[in-house]
């Protein structure tokens, strides 16, 4: 599946939010039912070009995220496919009750495209670095959650969301990330992707940490003399239980990687599934129930031990202790 050497220092980098903007332009040309709603952040969420090209299908509500989501619900009831955009902290936090009651409860065809999620938002600090959004959206019945690993998967995920019937939350980021996939790869909602196969150790990663986990796996293989299975869960809900159980079966330990609080997030989803269907030791690597802080992205990943170098050190210690 992957098209790159994760240890290379020369990988091309692009932001997943840019993939969102590019996909909207493609959809705008091919589908007249696509509309975009904004909360005065179109430059940052990369929807501005869509608005400039099709102003009749672009609605900016200012700093009023609840209005954005409420109007998206109305447009969906009229048969359109609305993409509601804002920073993740506002779209899932400030507008949560509207998402729950006006979008999810009637199961409307609204796409919530949330950018600037997680600590990789960087210098804006803890007030804007939402690390609870996956947990918040997982708890809403019927909500589908997508977390693409790179620019190309973000583009593909937006196309998949547009074709999907029902509410979808798409988690997107601010920084440029290494490209994990080439532009021909498709995004299949509800299916994990196998980056490589091993046996005794299973890495399950999502979003920003797919590249970091894969890079760490390659480095660890040399230390441990063991091949590590690496899975990319671009869909967190519904979770690809079939693939998880298949590769967890021969594993002695399962590691999960997420740029999110380990409470209620991706790692929790993996642990919940395995505890009920195939008990295994699960180690959740993510934000350890702490808030983020202001800083540059590499520094933050280092501080919270979420980069490949820290993953190698921490996983090696755990493996030796088994």
Contact 169, 114 (CB under 8 A): yes
Residue appearing with tokens 């608005």: 51
Q: Residue 51 has which token pair? A: 């608005």
DSSP secondary structure, 72-119, as one string = HHHHHHTT-EEEEEEEHIIIIIITHHHIIIIIITTT---EEEEES-SG
Widest CA span in the chain: 61
Q: What whole-number distance in Å separates Cα of residue 126 and Cα of residue 245?
A: 35
Q: What SS3 state is found at 75?
A: helix
Residue of 38, 65, 132, 259 marked catalytic: 65
Q: Which residues of 31-65 are buried (b: 16+ CB within 10 A; e: fewer)?
A: eeebbbbbbebbebbbbbbbbeebeebbbbbeebb
For 83, list phi and psi in degrees, rounded to 5: -105, 110
65 in catalytic set:
yes
Active site residues per annotation: 65
């Amino acid at each position: 599946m992957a098209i790159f050497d994760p240890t290379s220092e020369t990988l091309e980098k692009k932001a997943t939010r840019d993939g969102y903007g590019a996909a909207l332009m493609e959809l705008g040309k091919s589908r007249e039912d696509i509309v975009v709603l904004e909360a005065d952040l179109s430059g940052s969420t990369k929807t501005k070009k869509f608005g400039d090209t099709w102003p009749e299908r672009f609605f900016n509500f200012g700093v009023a995220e609840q209005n954005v989501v409420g109007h998206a619900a109305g447009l969906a009831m009229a048969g359109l496919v609305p993409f509601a955009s804002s920073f993740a902290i506002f779209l899932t936090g400030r507008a949560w009750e509207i998402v729950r009651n006006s979008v999810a409860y009637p199961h409307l065809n609204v796409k919530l495209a949330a950018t600037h999620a997680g600590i990789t938002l960087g210098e804006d600090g803890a007030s804007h670095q939402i690390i609870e959004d996956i947990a918040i959206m997982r708890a809403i019945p019927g909500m589908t959650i997508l977390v693409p690993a790179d620019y190309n998967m973000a583009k593909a995920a937006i196309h998949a969301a547009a074709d999907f019937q029902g509410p979808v939350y798409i988690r997107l980021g601010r920084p440029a990330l290494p490209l994990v996939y080439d532009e021909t790869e498709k995004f299949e909602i509800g299916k994990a992707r196998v980056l490589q196969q091993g046996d005794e150790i299973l890495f399950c990663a999502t979003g920003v940490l797919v590249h970091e986990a894969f890079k760490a796996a390659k480095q660890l293989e040399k230390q441990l003399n063991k091949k590590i299975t690496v899975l990319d869960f671009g869909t967190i809900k519904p979770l690809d239980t079939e693939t998880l159980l298949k590769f967890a079966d021969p594993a002695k330990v399962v590691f999960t990687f997420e740029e999110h609080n380990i409470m209620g997030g991706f790692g929790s989803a993996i642990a919940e599934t395995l505890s009920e269907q195939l008990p295994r030791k699960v180690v959740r690597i993510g934000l350890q129930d702490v808030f983020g802080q202001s800083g540059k992205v590499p520094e933050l990943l280092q501080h919270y031990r979420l980069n490949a170098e820290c993953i190698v050190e921490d996983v090696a210690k755990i493996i030796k202790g088994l």
